[in-house]
Amino acid sequence: MKFLILLLGLVLGSAAIGYAVPRVQVQLSVEPTTRVLTCRYTLVLPAGDTTTVLRLNLRKDFRVQRVQGGRATVQMRRLYYPYFDDTMQQVVARYPAGRQPRTLTLDYTGTLGKERTTAAQVLEFSGHSNWLPFRSLQEYEVVEYTLGVRVPVGYQVRSTSPPLGAQSGYFRFEGRACAVELTAIIA
């Protein structure tokens, strides 16, 4: 009987703790008239994730300005990504072994393609526009995210959830989604 009570306690306790998922923080700044974006993307893996090599893929036409990986050694390379049938750039960060959170930040700029402009000065940042970095073959892993979007005054930003904070020209969203499905519609 004591064994059953102990087992029940362990099961209920582990369910209450939950599984730690990666955390993503995105700061996006957009000039809608030119479709130019500047983005800071930070991925934080939980301490329980003992990955020592972290690979983030990004569109080949975006320009990476800075990479920060803490104690990681970082390399950039190009690779063919068969899932997209295209070449991408890849940031490879190698971390020392151990149980500690791993953080990787990319600062990059680029231009959103015209195919993601649905009308005059309406831009769609979604999984279809491929604007976010993602871990190889893990595009649809669930992440907790914070998305901050800066636009010129007068523009509105919508996402998959209502903004938690909206000031003139700045909108902030939080939630859980697939890694490539953080969405911002700007009009």
* Domain-wise residue ranges, the chain: 21-49+61-66+99-186
Other beta carbons within 10 angstroms of residue 133's beta carbon come to 26
Under DSSP, the state recorded for 151 is -
**Residue type, position 40, single letter:** R
In the predicted model, residues of the chain with pLDDT beneath 70 are 1-19, 115-120
**Residue type, position 91, single letter:** V
Q: What is the rounded distance in angstroms from the CA atom of residue 27 to the CA atom of residue 42? A: 9
Q: What is the rounded distance in angstroms from the CA atom of residue 85 to the CA atom of residue 64? A: 21
**CA–CA distances in Å: residue 152 to residues 1, 27, 31, 147:** 65, 15, 7, 17
Find the Cα–Cα–Cα–Cα dihedral 175, 177, 181, 185, rounded to 10°. Answer: -20
Q: For 37-70, b where at least 16 C-beta lie within 10 A, e where not — what string?
A: bebbbbbbbeeeeeeeebbbbbbeebebeebebe
Under DSSP, the state recorded for 116 is G
The fold of the 21-49+61-66+99-186 domain, in CATH, is: Immunoglobulin-like (2.60.40)
